[in-house]
Structure 1
């Protein structure tokens, strides 16, 4: 797998954003090109487990048609990926000692997934979320609803119920956060700056998988304004990588 590129763009973004306003409308209703989707996903690091030859570690999982499907796990958290490898070393040392954690961009996983869909017996990818964030997502949904997938958190509010935006290089963008805590900090700052709108702000959660599908299939100019903000852990990883 190719190494991540353009990580520094994400670091610059987090350090220089200014709060914007609420952008009206909903993310439904021009679909982005393949290249535009890739650009949206490029700056998000994810973590795979590979063997000595660099091939993803694959599990065989029964499918609905009683056939086994090859599935590779993609961890949102580097710590979770490393913990999985350590557990594998204890439980299956022959295999565990041959694998390692490899960072790749979310765009690369997306590209591999798209290529696999056109192949018989292609490889599927399963995103493995951070459990703390899944719990935060579950709390937002309330009882009786189960959140599935990787949580992304976004804020809405104002008279029109629009999306909270930030200013980046003179443009309004809609940030979707992998960490609810990061968004909460942004919301708190917004409430201090706009106390008259404070009571209208709500944090909502959507699955990453749904956002990727929306970028591929839906026709809406607002899709160009979506910006995925990596977790604090991933941002720290990016800082360390960019300094090497």
Structure 2
């Protein structure tokens, strides 16, 4: 039976206003796509779900909240198929998908809607079906302009832009110790990763006003969301504990304007 999503509630106040460069450099390990070989203990599914819970994404669902599913080939055997639902970072991209669907199948398009859901819930459902190919799988749909920005960042950092695939997440490093740019949340310093490069640039503008002597040392880094989720699942590292994902400002504004 197809599971339904619970519509996400209003999620605001995701980031704080105090910026600083973390004086402690947390190194990346070279042997892993993100952080390194898998150590003893990683985050549990519940811990990952809690970390991803405040991040709204968008799916195409029917009136009951069940996601619209496409059947795609799976594996080397041409007869094998998988059921896949799209998870859109941008609501506008989801709306364009429905509009394109309307041109091909008006009856189906009239029966579906764009629904905001929690990335944490999507992750949990995806993990529950990890070992069962018959269960629903999810494909994250990036914003093409952000993919272009990610590839430009890769090129600026001396890497091939063709190496990047997936949903980009942007963060910043700099200062004397090449530390990660952090924000103060309560009593802890957390490392924000942004879905939109423009949102990170807005934070860097604020940082430049606060510490103009350090802004010249700041560089932007980019990693795929998919690699981060895998690192959450398999790696145990101080860096991962301190990461928060910052939703696009346009998404938060939409929720402010439309959620009861």
Looking at structure 1, the residues matched to 75 and 131 of structure 2 have their Cα atoms a distance apart, in angstroms, of 19
Unaligned runs of 5+ residues in structure 2 are 29-34
CA change 1:13–1:53 in 2 (3 A) is closer
Q: Match for 1:105 among 118, 134, 137?
A: 118
121-130 vs 46-55, which moves further: 46-55
Offset at residue 111 of structure 1 (A): 0.8
Pick aligned residue for 1:85 from 79, 98, 114: 98
In the TM superposition, what is the alpha-carbon distance from 1:170 to its structure 2 partner? Answer: 2.1
| Greater helix share, structure number | 1
Matched, 1:2 2:18: no
Go from structure 1 to structure 2 and tell me whether the alpha carbon gap of 1:201 and 1:99 turns closer, same or farther (over 3 Å shift).
Answer: same
Q: Structure 1: which 5+ runs fail to align?
A: none
Specify the alignment match of 1:68 in structure 2. 81
The 1-side partners of 2:258 and 2:242 are apart by 27
Residue 26 of structure 1 contacts residue 162 of structure 1 at CA under 8 Å; is this kept in 2?
Answer: no
> Aligned residue pairs: how many?
239
Partner of 1:221: 238
**Is 1:132 matched with 2:136?**
no
- For the 8 Å contact 2:154–2:161, the answer to whether it is kept is yes
Give yes or no for the alignment of 1:19 onto 2:19.
Answer: yes
Matched residue of 1:212: which SS? helix
Q: For residue 145 of structure 1, what is the aligned residue in structure 2?
A: 161
Alpha-carbon shift at residue 238 of structure 1 (Å): 2.5
Alpha-carbon contact 1:32-1:223 (below 8 Å) kept = no
Equivalences for residues 224-243 of structure 1 within 5 A: 224-242=241-259
> Which of these residues, 36, 39, 42, is aligned with residue 47 of structure 2?
36
CA contact (8 A) 1:149 1:207 kept: yes
CA distance in 2: counterparts of 1:120 and 1:80, whole angstroms: 27
Worse overlay, 222-231 or 115-124? 115-124
Instruction: Tell whether the 8 Å contact from 1:13 to 1:168 is kept in structure 2 after alignment.
Output: no
Are the equivalent residues in 2 in contact too, given 1:89–1:95 (CA < 8 A)? yes
1:119 aligned partner? 132
How far apart are residue 223 of structure 1 and its match?
A: 1.6
Query: 1:12 is paired with a residue of what secondary structure?
Result: coil
Aligned to 2:32: none
TM-score, with structure 2 as normaliser: 0.85
The alpha carbon displacement at 1:132 in A equals 1.2
Contact 1:2 1:104 in 2 (8 A): yes
**Which residue of structure 1 aligns with residue 109 of structure 2?**
96
8 Å Cα contact 2:152/2:161 also seen in 1: no
Distance apart, 1:241 and its partner CA: 4.4
What TM-score do you get using the length of structure 1 for normalisation? Answer: 0.91
